[in-house]
Structure 1
């Protein structure tokens, strides 16, 4: 048995781990990056990129199907095997790019295997070798959850984001469990490609939406594309060549496959954080400071999906950098800069959640896209949103579900990050006819409510239905 030594050990070679290793090494630390597979990031392999490739194929089919509204006849002929073949081909390009990044790390700094704590500054590898380290970054990512009511389904019929993209062809029918971002995206993508889809969730609002008017607009669209069962208590089991899903008062239906998107809890099995003296919460996640990402006062930091704080790629990259820097400088630890919270779901229409959305503490104003010029032009007369501001008019957050919400969300996130007010945004140019114009009624309403409203803010412009 050998004992290796380093300044900073990083457990996990995903987005957060790669970011932490790079930042620690740039800070002058000797690093060891430990991963059992070095397969690539979740984003490239089973997350952001393959899911968007499936959505892109669905968008192409949906555009062809909806072309009749414009006097164009183009019924789509969907080749399920061809869709997934292209998806995997392009996905593998993204994965190779990640592998190139990993290959840039010196071979001596990489260890293939699993690691577990045997002390606050010591790890044991499955080979029996040990690592003495000044500090450790936990960046083990997350794995799909399979709740008990769905475990009776056999593996070949039970899908997750880690298996869906490797199917030889599209299934004829799928029940999707979970209407969060992942389940919602995949349910709509599959439905757009001609798959019979039923979407189930125990909550009554899909996509993490909290504003009833915004959620209603999305649900109205979903109900035209699939069977939608919200507030449903669901279970499933094998049924001949398919899966029988049962919900609520004994209703049931059979599908070819079951896609479980019921969350991705941190992958901390076998890490044994208690032996490092780390206190954990009820979910087994080490208690940590969100600013510095330090676990208690131990020389241990946790970043990315492993801490379940902001499980998004851009957040994992930022957290990895903060954790790597603090691990290299330990015990001189400080809070890193965190940008405004910002999440996008690539549903159709898209969802953008920005910053604070505390309806009881903030000013709020709604906006709608139905009836607006650009929405009518593109036959996408749906979408709603709500903007939030401090009492002085400074923008605080937004919840939007509308065509182009990924771009609207960026504009609003940048405005919140820069401390802009609703009036500041109205001072910016708005081109006509654009989706962005739909924000102006809400911005004007926030100005009228705030203590800093100017006379021109009170003009009643941009009424829905105007060109």
Structure 2
């Protein structure tokens, strides 16, 4: 049995763990990075990058089929599922290789492979071969797909995002459970690639959209492409040879039993903290087995243990995991001099078509901050100039501001180029810009961002800061 004594031990070599390692290494070279699985990060291996590769193929097929609106006719558009998935894996492996190569630059004496478990507040056993004694510990063990018990009968016909991309061929049909970001991204992509898709959600949620008006619109537009029931009533899932049968209440046809090749579980993720013997760490745990931690420092209570990335069960997004890893690494390195670090403005993007972006404070936070009310501005992209030129004139942007201060608080968008518009609005939130100041910024013509100006003008008027918009085509001309 090997024994190591280090200043900082880091559990997990994903995005958060690597960020923590690099920050802590600026303070000490007495480090140990412990990883139980393959190197490569969730994002690169099974998350962001392979899913976007699949979406890119789906969008290419969709654009080809719908080019006739421009007078361009693409005859006999066919999708070769094997080629699609071969490219997904090939490019995915390339992205993974970059991460693996970066890990190889970490000295061998600072890396251990194996499952780490707490022996005590400062001690970890790694499989059966090592014990690591650490003055500070960063838990960055990531997360895994959560599979509801109801879906378990699907057995070998059950897919999650970790296994979908390993299929040799696209299936003929898939029932997607979960109407969140992952379920809608993958469900729409599969549908555009010719797979018969039905998406079953619960509680009416659609990709985390909080604004009722945008959520209803998103549900309507998605249903133009594939069946989506965000509040589905599913009574049975039964394995049936080379497929699976799902019994559910169809919105218009009543109770049905339908056969699918596979079920895709996109029902959320669970932090990987239940197999590290966290109860031996000395931390106080809640009923879920989670320790309390400070999102500004990533410190658990007043202890020497820090929690970062998906393992924190906060916001399972790569840029958030990266930030949390950096904060945890900085504070673990300089402990006990733990200092809060500024978090960036919230930004979440869903790569459906139209895209979804959520920026700044959520509606619940806005309502709590502004109990006397808040201002809302909106724009539909149906008649927005650049969007109509591109044939992508679907969706809506709603922006929120604070009465009295004119402060821009946040936005929700379901529309074209939301990934780019979302960044501009997030920068405005982080810069604490007022709506008036945002309207002083340059807007070129013709661009989709002119729709942002229209929504901000509407918000400005509703905050009693500007005149009512009377011209419905300000984006058809200079729009001063």
Q: TM-score range by the shorter chain?
A: over 0.9
Pair 1:216 & 2:228 matched: no
| Closer, same or farther: CA 133–171 of 1 in aligned 2, 3 Å | same
Q: TM-score, length-normalised on structure 2?
A: 0.93
Q: CA deviation at 1:445?
A: 2.3
Match of 2:142 in 1: 141
The farther-off stretch of 170-179 and 69-78 is 69-78
Gaps of 5+ in 2: none
Match of 2:394 in 1: 382
Contact 1:386–1:398 (Cα < 8 Å) also in 2: yes
Distance in 1 between residues matched to 2:400 and 2:306, nearest whole Å: 33
Q: CA deviation at 1:38?
A: 3.5
Q: CA deviation at 1:459?
A: 5.4
Distance in 1 between residues matched to 2:275 and 2:29, nearest whole Å: 26
Distance in 1 between residues matched to 2:164 and 2:148, nearest whole Å: 18
Match of 2:329 in 1: 324
Match of 2:291 in 1: 286
| Closer, same or farther: CA 189–462 of 1 in aligned 2, 3 Å | farther
Distance in 1 between residues matched to 2:442 and 2:33, nearest whole Å: 48
Post-superposition, which runs of at least 4 consecutive aligned residues in structure 1 deviate over 4 A?
A: none
Q: For 1:280, what is the secondary structure of its paired residue?
A: coil
Q: For 2:263, what is the secondary structure of its paired residue?
A: strand
Match of 2:469 in 1: 460
| Closer, same or farther: CA 415–380 of 1 in aligned 2, 3 Å | same
- For residues 147-186 of structure 1, the aligned pairs below 5 Å read 147-155=148-156, 157-186=157-186
The farther-off stretch of 179-188 and 431-440 is 431-440
Q: For 1:254, what is the secondary structure of its paired residue?
A: strand
- For residues 39-50 of structure 1, the aligned pairs below 5 Å read 39-50=39-50
Q: For 2:155, what is the secondary structure of its paired residue?
A: coil
Pair 1:368 & 2:376 matched: no
Pair 1:60 & 2:60 matched: yes
Distance in 1 between residues matched to 2:203 and 2:170, nearest whole Å: 28
Match of 1:36 in 2: 36
Distance in 1 between residues matched to 2:128 and 2:45, nearest whole Å: 27
Q: TM-score, length-normalised on structure 1?
A: 0.96
The farther-off stretch of 203-212 and 315-324 is 203-212
Match of 1:431 in 2: 444
Match of 1:344 in 2: 349
Match of 1:394 in 2: 407
| Closer, same or farther: CA 89–462 of 1 in aligned 2, 3 Å | farther
Distance in 2 between residues matched to 1:173 and 1:42, nearest whole Å: 26
Q: CA deviation at 1:293?
A: 0.7
Distance in 2 between residues matched to 1:352 and 1:466, nearest whole Å: 22
Tell me how large the CA RMSD over aligned residues is: 1.5
Distance in 2 between residues matched to 1:425 and 1:10, nearest whole Å: 42
Q: CA deviation at 1:396?
A: 0.9
Distance in 2 between residues matched to 1:466 and 1:138, nearest whole Å: 50
Match of 1:85 in 2: 86
Match of 1:419 in 2: 432
The farther-off stretch of 380-389 and 93-102 is 380-389
| Closer, same or farther: CA 219–422 of 1 in aligned 2, 3 Å | same
Match of 2:108 in 1: 107
Gaps of 5+ in 1: none
Q: CA deviation at 1:465?
A: 8.6
The farther-off stretch of 265-274 and 319-328 is 265-274
Q: CA deviation at 1:233?
A: 3.2
Distance in 1 between residues matched to 2:446 and 2:384, nearest whole Å: 9
Distance in 1 between residues matched to 2:400 and 2:275, nearest whole Å: 43
Distance in 1 between residues matched to 2:233 and 2:341, nearest whole Å: 41
